[in-house]
Amino acid sequence: MMRESPRAVEDAYRVEVVGAGDYWLQEARAGETLRITDLKGNQAVDTLFFNADHPHERYSAFDTVREQRNLYLTAGTTLVSDEGSPMLDIVGDTCGRHDTLGGACAGESNTVRYALEKKTMHSCRDSWLLAVNTHTRWGLTKRDLTHNINFFMNVPVTPAGGLTFEDGISAPGKYVELTARMNVLVMISNCPQLNNPCNGYNPTPIELAVWSR
């Protein structure tokens, strides 16, 4: 569902541009709102959320889609944790559909999907592993890397049970906005995948803006 936001970027207390292939790890307090903007269009933004106070509680992709009885994330979706607790609400969306079924890229899965010699290409999982092993205050490790959201990515399911990877439905300036319902840790990998139309074969920067409650 398309829903435009009333918020102005000038009012945000934090605005940052994150290049493709970089990670972004920040806390947002309950009531704060995070906007992710696809600056150039067709960029996949691989995102995980944790309870900032108890990081073993984390976003659960499959609990989220089952509880809303719908596979796609958009305005009106509540992201739920592995405990079934609401973590964030999607309050704005000018893209219309986001994936949480397709997971993140990794060198190892690249070997299967594309070619054995692609294993050394930069990947979302490399970014996350570097993030958790650099910023150790939350005690996160590979154990905590679970199934993620791919903001701006379009992965439709066919009636026959097939899965297709479509050219992104996003475009320059499209955004998604989320309001936190608990103190959350946000861990984003701005996807470096070069082998997939989801990034238009050309990974590009995103903008992150955070508003206080």
Partner 1 sequence: MSDVQYRDTLPGGTHWSFLARQGTTLELTDVEGGGNVGMIFYNPANPLERLNLPDTLKCQHTFKLTAGHCLYSDMGRIFCSITADSVGWHDASSGTCNAGIVAEKWGSSSYQEARNNFYRNGRDCFLVELGKYGLGRRDMAANVNWFSRVDVTEDGNMALAAGHSAPGANLTLRFEMDTLVLMHTCPHPLDASPEYPRKPIAYALGVAPPVAADDPCRLSREENGRGFQNNALYLLGTDASVSLGASS
Interaction between residue 144 and partner 1 (CB under 8 A)? yes
Q: How many residues bind partner 1 (CB under 8 A)?
A: 45
Interaction between residue 112 and partner 1 (CB under 8 A)? yes
Helix/strand/coil for 68: helix
Minimum CB distance to partner 1, residue 28 (Å): 22
By CB atoms closer than 10 A (0-12, 13-18, 19+), residue 40 is: middle
Residue 26 or 85: the one with the smaller Cβ distance to partner 1 is 85
Interaction between residue 136 and partner 1 (CB under 8 A)? no
- 91 Cβ partners below 8 Å, 6+ apart? 3, 5, 33, 75, 177, 178, 179
Q: To which H or E segment does residue 129 belong?
A: helix 124-134
Residue 130 or 163: the one with the smaller Cβ distance to partner 1 is 163
Q: Footprint of partner 1 on residues 74-93 (CB under 8 A)? A: 82, 84
Residue 6 or 162: the one with the smaller Cβ distance to partner 1 is 162
To the nearest 10°, report the CA torsion of 20, 25, 27, 33. Answer: 10
Residues paired with residue 90 on neighbouring β-strands, in sequence order: 178
Options 35-43, 100-108, 174-182, 185-193: segment touching partner 1 (CB under 8 A)? 100-108
Q: Within 13 A of 118's CA, how many CA atoms are on the CB side?
A: 17
Answer whether 92's CB lies under 8 Å from 75's CB: yes
- The only residue of 69, 134, 136, 137 in contact with partner 1, by rule CB under 8 A: 69
Minimum CB distance to partner 1, residue 209 (Å): 27
Options 37-45, 101-109, 171-179, 186-194: segment touching partner 1 (CB under 8 A)? 101-109
Residue 78 or 207: the one with the smaller Cβ distance to partner 1 is 78
Helix/strand/coil for 143: helix
- The only residue of 12, 44, 61, 209 in contact with partner 1, by rule CB under 8 A: 61
Alpha-carbon distance 90 to 78, whole Å?
A: 6
Interaction between residue 162 and partner 1 (CB under 8 A)? yes
Neighbours of 76 (CB within 10 A): 13
Q: Which residues in this chain contact partner 1 in the complex, by CB under 8 A?
A: 56, 60-63, 65-66, 69-72, 82, 84, 97, 101-104, 106-113, 115-116, 119, 125, 142-144, 146-147, 155-159, 161-165
